[in-house]
Amino acid sequence: MKRILAAKVSMRSRGLIDVKRAMTIAGSDSGGGAGIQADLKTFQELKVFGTSALTAVTAQNTLGVQGVFPMEPEAVASQIQSVGEDIGTDALKTGMLFNAGIIQAVSEKIKQFGWEKVVVDPVMIAKGGASLLQQEAVSALKNQLLPLCLIITPNIPEAEVLTGMSIRSMDDKKEAAKRIHALGVKNIVIKGGHDTETNESVDILFDGKEFVFFSTPRIETNNTHGTGCTFSAAITAQLAKGSSVREAVSIAKEFIQAAIANPLGIGNGHGPTNHWAFNSKTESGVISWQE
């Protein structure tokens, strides 16, 4: 047994084991349900090695955000540089970027390293209503970062900000997806979690040519803190492992459905999702997709 273990360690040290890597560029959630904490948990559950670049520290729990303390853009750039020049990454995601300076720094590093599997979760507003993206940063996000990303995953309020339109129907979602695609984004996933008029949570994927719909039963629960972070992290992990965009979104949808369907009951407000539910043979609900 010791000889076999030693052989495995030796193989790993020589780089013979193919370990996929995913990076998160996002804020820290002291409550552990969102941000880089949620991202790294998701990466681990989906069996990719996670790295991170911290953009801000938040004082946060299930009741809300009590404080936001952003990093300097140079500090964010330095973290990305450290990861990029040594460990590298097979895919990356951005979460809370907070201001235009950080967005510019992140965009420049993505271009420097030539990273293409980039997932943007345009984090703008926390569950409790706190702003997580300064108003002047929206134009920087649209002009600098979005043309570099492979997938963007806005919820309905975020899609409304990005497009300047009101979204009330499926036709509105389709039009919003087209408008975001015109900003240079290759694939748009508009999430259906905020559309509470139906018994299904329907996400739509648009690649510039066709729409694909991913539907799961809606779960009535208050334990949804970090769902957007977790969903985009799951997409990133699957892209790192070589999944197609459609397959990555499908698995991410199943992952987040399981995480919501099996709550942990932590905290007194919007509780976190259960990141290990997907791999625990729990009932995640039926997922279906159609063109």
Catalytic residues: 191, 224, 226-229
Say if residues 275 and 191 touch (Cβ distance below 8 Å): no
List, as one string, the DSSP characters of 121-180.
----B-TTS-B-B-TTHHHHIIIIIGGG-SEE---HHHHHHHHTS---SHHHHHHHHHHH
User: Which alpha helices (DSSP H) does 14-61 contain, by range?
Assistant: 35-45
The conformational region for residue 129 under phi > 0 = left, psi -120 to 50 = alpha, else beta, is left
Give the number of other Cβ atoms within 10 Å of residue 181's Cβ. Answer: 18
Largest CA distance in the chain: 64
Q: Give Cβ neighbours of residue 9 (< 8 Å, ≥ 6 apart).
A: none
